[in-house]
Structure 1
Amino acid sequence: MQQMGTQHVMVIPFPAQGHVNPLMSFSKRLTQHGFRVTFVNTDFIHKRVVSATDEEVNLEGSAVRLVSVPDGLGPMDDRNDLGSLFLAILRVMPSAIEKLIRDMNGGSEKISAIVADLNMAWALEVANEVGVLKGAVFCPCSAAVFALLDSIPKLIQDGILNDNGFPIKKGVFQLSPAMPIIMETTNIPWCCIGNTAVQKTMYDYIRKFMYGAHLTDWWFCNTSSELENGALSLCSKILPIGPLLMENGDDQLRSVGQFWKEDLSCLSWLDHQPPCSVIYIAFGSFTVFDPNQLNELALGLDLTNKPFLWVVREDASGSTKITYPDDFKGTRGKIVIWAPQQKVLGHPAIACFVSHCGWNSTMEGVANGVPFLCWPYFADQLFDKTYICDEWKVGLGFDLDEKGLISRWEIKKKVDQLLGDENIRGRSHKLKEMVVRNIAEGGESYKNFIKFEEWVRK
């Protein structure tokens, strides 16, 4: 039962790991300030989250309540097929969200405000129709990507995109001279996934949720002004509230939201490694590897002759069973299915982070002062690599060989180069100090959060 006078916020993430995690961090922060939160996953994701949650965690009576609604797909459908997922979401979820809000508002737990993932911002339309007029959108990607989505009408007007969202010609463009990122038309997020039909579906979905986003003036982004001053200047409506991190310590909600159970044995393994010695390799929840590339990565880790902690999901090779090359020794390393990444990156044994450059991983690496070796998979990860390597200068990228692979020798070369460069490590530590100040009391991100909290309470 909701306590008298307690504000109740409904939080709606997009059904993907990189979206659930930061919104769970946002929700935890709300509860620390006395709010109740109803966290709405899809049924499919809810089951994964509950099954991955440590058995000792008791969610009964928690200030964050997990509920779920259908996503419109069947149990055997491929939810990595984004075109099908977007169509199903719009077909089923708006009415399901509406019913959930009506049921809550008809009882003792009336909704004070909605916080929707940017990709679910259509939910603000639904909320307005049933009388919940306070809302915010939260972007788990960079402010640069948020600004790109908001600039679609101007990109069409300037002749960069046609009315269907496709580039009129290949090439580079810049949203603003103040932004360091030079964007490739071929890397626009909705133009580099699937075939033309899927891309058109994605673009239509983006236009739908951007319409919803404009129903509120509260646009949050998991970033800070030191990291993305140019993008924030271009789109002043975006309020930085990052880096959003789960607090360490005895927090029963810390691991809630993970799709795989965290293997905590890697932390005790790290305790036995020398300071600043371990290569941490993790590619998020979506990246899929060609078996030949997986082999080169394994053999490259052997070549470095350094301890490594490697996260290899069960589906890291798609439908192909994961196998390692016969000559892969791996004696200096530890391989896990999923890791408590924030705690890993904060461990003194970590020397560098081989990353797919997803924005959450980027924020966690930056907030812990860890240098990067950048291995982007697709979409906005390519923009994030530009920030890491060219703008902030806290990492290096890999070069492909004549077969289109990152070879084992390239891996060893870049590991040696990165770990031998004290300037990169020094810049990483300075960047950490700058961004962490933002979330401390009195910091810009902290103040933006407090402004929202006060607005909801009015």
Structure 2
Amino acid sequence: MALANDENHNNGEQEQGRRSHFLVVAYGIQGHINPARTLARRLARIGGCTATLSVSASSHRRMFPSHGSSCEEEVSDGLISYIPFSDGKDDGSWPNGSEDRARRREANFRSLSAVVDRLAASGRPVTCMLCTLSMPVVGEVAREHGLPIAIYWIQPATVLVTYYHYFHGHGELIAQQQGSSNSTQDQQVTLPGLRPLRRSDMPTFFTEKTQDDLSKMILQAMRELFEQIEQEKPIVLVNTFDALEDVALKAIQPYMDDVFAVGPAVPPLDELLHQKDASEAAQVHLFKHDEKDCMEWLDAQLEKSVVYLSFGSLLAYTKRQAEEILHGLQDLGRPYLWVVRKEGRAEEVDLCLRDVKAERGMVVEWCDQQKVLSHPSVGCFVTHCGWNSTLEAIVSGVPMLAVPSWSDQPMNAYLIEEEWRVGVRAERDAEGVLTRDELVSRLELLMGGSERSVQIRANAQSLKERAQEAVATHGPLERSLRSFINKSLQNLNQSRKSIS
């Protein structure tokens, strides 16, 4: 009898899934698109839903270069659809000043509203809008169309809690601890529900003495996001899992009604390895890369011998930083794979990279990072601590050398070194440069045979196993997604009742 009840329950959930259509809107950069796409595909695969991913027209063109330059073209990979929206410029540039931001926001609103109307006209009405963080305009579109909105928090739950308290009474506490002395960076900040944190671990937007326009723009967007969360109580999905951040997930529950852990948003390796073409690729790549050469080079290296170094899709290298890393890697004497994007790369950096000796290392413009981290020859990952990179390393069981730069990265580095103990942190000098001496000493510690390095590798393997448990069939991730689908339909029915 219990089995029959379970089957009826599952059939009911599948039926609800078929009635759901999620329009997932992502900010058009690599770090937002990949977790959003993974979530959309999981909703379609696990929950039986219809899912559409919408990104800016400039990013859509880079994702599907073979489909031409049309802003209107819809693409399908056989599981989900992709429809671009327009910010009025569609050139991939950052907003320049408040007037430009306002114009683009209005264009985004009109374009996304048109996407919702277009899907309804085609017989695929949207039942819930879902957006990555820093996109409050999506909430405005959802309100205009009487749709529920869900926020996809693509940073750690610990950072979610930190932002919440920053905008709810603790901002001044953090600001009061600013001062001229370097010791202020190590002062502790105690936030409800979390372990004490150093001020230097906080998101950089809270602690920068002088903010540039980009930092101001992002912090303002986050302020609007948390105002929306406070007023409308949307569902919040977090790219994490219970075994990774149980403390933070419990800490946010008193302040937000519906929070679901739906991570790690890293596609399963079997999907990655058995992709048939670019449209079915497990990960989106906005940069060109030669996967064959990279993997063949890794195949020729000894197990766990390679230092893999990548600082993500946004960071550009100065000449001095490139030189320090190159000389450090050469001094270390281990094989290395180093990602240095050509986009925005200064000529003097190119000159520096000519000194790379092929027998010791390989420099590539871009690579399929998940495949690289899953390769048996990779022994550690020198990372900027972007959350996607951090999760990919966790899923692959690779120890990390944390070299954070901005935004949530210092907090992620704290979690890597202090909470999970799956890596060590490297400190930058007064000019913000990772020196060769620091790089070598930290890597020797991480890849050596000391008791600490052995424990770090064991911790990394253990965390990998916990991540596998989270994404297993009928596991925590699947249960969270099904609960989210049911809750979103309840919210849709409530919205319709309030309108009628």
* TM-score, reference length from structure 1: 0.87
2:131 counterpart of 1:116 = yes
- Secondary structure of the structure 1 residue equivalent to 2:285: coil
Secondary structure at the residue paired with 1:68? Answer: coil
State whether residues 358 and 384 of structure 1, in contact with CA within 8 Å, keep that contact through their aligned partners in structure 2.
yes
Structure 1: give runs of 5+ residues left out of the alignment: 162-166
- Tell me what 1:343 maps to: 371
Higher CA-based Rg: 2
More moved, 196-205 vs 440-449: 196-205
Q: 1:61 to 1:281 in 2, by over 3 A?
A: closer
1:29 deviates by 0.8
SS of equivalent to 2:134: helix
Matched, 1:101 2:122: no
Contact 1:373 1:398 in 2 (8 A): yes
Summarize deviations over 1:23-77 as a string: whole Å, max 9, x none: 1111111221322222111011111212399xxxx955622211111224463x7
Matched, 1:287 2:315: yes
The answer for the alignment partner of 1:65 in structure 2 is 81
For 1:346 and 1:82, the matched residues in 2 are separated by 42
RMSD of the alignment, in Å?
3.0
What is the aligned partner in structure 2 of residue 164 from structure 1?
none
Instruction: Report what 1:382 is aligned to.
Output: 410
Superposition deviation, residue 412 in structure 1: 2.0
User: Deviations for 1:346-400, whole angstroms, at most 9, x for unmatched residues?
Assistant: 1111100000000110011011110001111212101111111122111112234
Give the match's secondary structure for 1:98. Answer: helix
Report whether the alignment pairs 1:231 with 2:244: no
TM-score (norm 2): 0.80
Report the secondary structure of 2:433's partner residue: coil
In the alignment, is the contact (CA less than 8 A) between 1:299 and 1:328 conserved in 2?
Answer: no
Q: Which moved more, 1:385-394 or 1:98-107?
A: 98-107
Instruction: Tell me if the contact between 2:316 and 2:345 (Cα under 8 Å) persists in the aligned partners.
Output: yes
CA distance in 1, matches of 2:262, 2:281: 19
CA distance in 2, matches of 1:368, 1:126: 38
CA distance in 1, matches of 2:262, 2:441: 37
| 1:305 to partner: Cα distance | 1.5
- Alignment correspondent of 1:130: 145
The answer to whether the aligner puts 1:412 opposite 2:445 as a matched pair is: no
Is 1:264 equivalent to 2:308 in the alignment? no
CA 80–271 in structure 1, closer or farther in 2 if over 3 Å, else same: farther
What residue identity is the alignment partner of 2:247? G
The alpha-carbon distance between structure 1 residues 449 and 298, as it changes in their structure 2 partners (threshold 3 A), is: same
Structure 2 counterpart of 1:106, which letter?
A
Q: Secondary structure at 1:437's aligned position in 2?
A: helix
On the 8 A contact 1:13/1:19 being kept in 2, the answer is: yes
2:267 corresponding residue in structure 1: 246
Structure with the higher helix share, 1 or 2: 2
1:330/1:298 CA distance change after superposition, 3 Å: farther
Q: Per the alignment, in what secondary structure is the counterpart of residue 24 of structure 2?
A: strand
Cα–Cα, structure 1 residues 380 and 23, in superposed 2: closer, same or farther, change >3 Å? same
Give identity over the alignment, percent.
25
Distance 1:94 1:320, change over 3 A: farther
C-alpha change, 1:181 and 1:369, in structure 2 (3 Å) is farther
> Which amino acid is 2:284 matched to?
G
Q: Which residue of 1 aligns with 2:43?
A: 30
Counterpart amino acid of residue 483 in structure 2: K
Contact 1:142/1:359 (CA < 8 Å) preserved in 2? yes
Instruction: Give secondary structure in 2 for the equivalent of 1:219.
Output: strand
Query: Aligned to 1:373, what secondary structure does the other structure show?
Result: strand
Q: Deviations over 1:264-283 (max 9, x none)?
A: 12122212211111111111
Q: Is 84-93 or 376-385 further displaced after alignment? A: 84-93
- The one-letter amino acid of 2:386's match is G
1:323 pairs with 330, 339, 351, which one? 351
What is the DSSP-based 3-state SS (H/G/I as helix, E as strand, rest coil) of the residue aligned with 2:461? Answer: helix
Distance 1:340 1:61, change over 3 A: closer
1:109-133 per-position Cα deviation (integer Å, ceiling 9, x unaligned) = 211221111222441332132132x
Q: Which residue of 2 aligns with 1:333?
A: 361
Amino acid at match of 2:424: L
Counterpart among 167, 173, 198 of residue 182 in structure 1: 198
The aligned residue for residue 451 of structure 1 is 483
CA contact (8 A) 2:385 2:409 kept: yes
* Residues 108, 26 of structure 1: alpha-carbon distance in 2 compared, 3 angstrom cutoff: same
Query: Are the equivalent residues in 1 in contact too, given 2:18–2:50 (CA < 8 A)?
Result: no
SS of match in other structure, 1:293 = helix
Residues in 1 aligned to 2:431 and 2:240: alpha-carbon distance in whole angstroms: 36
**Letter matched to residue 428 of structure 1:** A
Moved more, 325-334 or 448-457: 325-334
Gap regions ≥5 residues in structure 2: 1-16, 68-73, 179-183, 491-500
Secondary structure of the residue aligned to 1:376 is coil
Q: 1:402 Cα deviation (Å)?
A: 6.9
Pairing 1:192-207 to 2, within 5 Å after superposition: 192=208, 195=211, 198-207=214-223
Q: Count matched residues.
A: 443
1:122 and 1:209 in contact (8 A); partners too:
no
- Whether 1:148 aligns to 2:165 is no
Deviations 1:292-339 (A, max 9, x none): 111111111111211111111113646866331665435321221111
Judging changes above 3 Å, is the alpha-carbon distance between structure 1 residues 180 and 349 closer, same or farther for their aligned structure 2 residues? farther
**Distance in 2 (alpha carbons) for counterparts of 1:418 and 1:83:** 45
